Amino acid sequence: MEAYTEAANKCIDSATTFLDYARLFVEAKRAYELWQKEIELSRVRKEISALKLVIPLLAEPAAACHPESLSSDSYASTSCNEPAVAQCADFGGAICSSCQTWCRGKSFCEVCGKQFVASEIRSE
């Protein structure tokens, strides 16, 4: 009977140790899952703050093209009503792709582009 009691006590001790390790494992697993959720929450908060910056820009209507034109030796801004894709490097007005002229890596409206090219030719 003594051998049976000793074997039973060893079995109980092993089971108790196993349950202690199982409890520690469950606690560690919960802590890890909580940590992962905190990381995900932080990422989502960053995305939300980034969207708060971007959404107003997307909600604004696209600017219409307003290239400069010459009218009796004075500049006047005209509108072709196409969506603007760039700004004139000279006067900063909105210009569409059909009114846009490129020179030396800069984007110009037609009038400013012609003047820029003419001044480049004179300087060379």
Domain boundary among 26, 43, 60: 60
Tens of pLDDT, residues 64-76: 565 555 444 444 4
What is the arithmetic mean of pLDDT over 37-58? 86
The confidence score (pLDDT) of residue 29 equals 97
Share of the chain above pLDDT 90, in %: 34
Q: What is the mean pLDDT of the chain?
A: 80
What is the phi/psi pair of residue 78, to 5°? Answer: -110, 175
Measured in degrees and rounded to the nearest 5, phi and psi for residue 64 equal: -90, 160
Cβ contacts of 69 within 8 Å, gap of 6 or more: 75, 76, 77, 78, 110, 111
Same domain, 101 and 50: no
Q: Does one domain contain both 28 and 51? A: yes
* pTM exceeds 0.75, yes or no: no
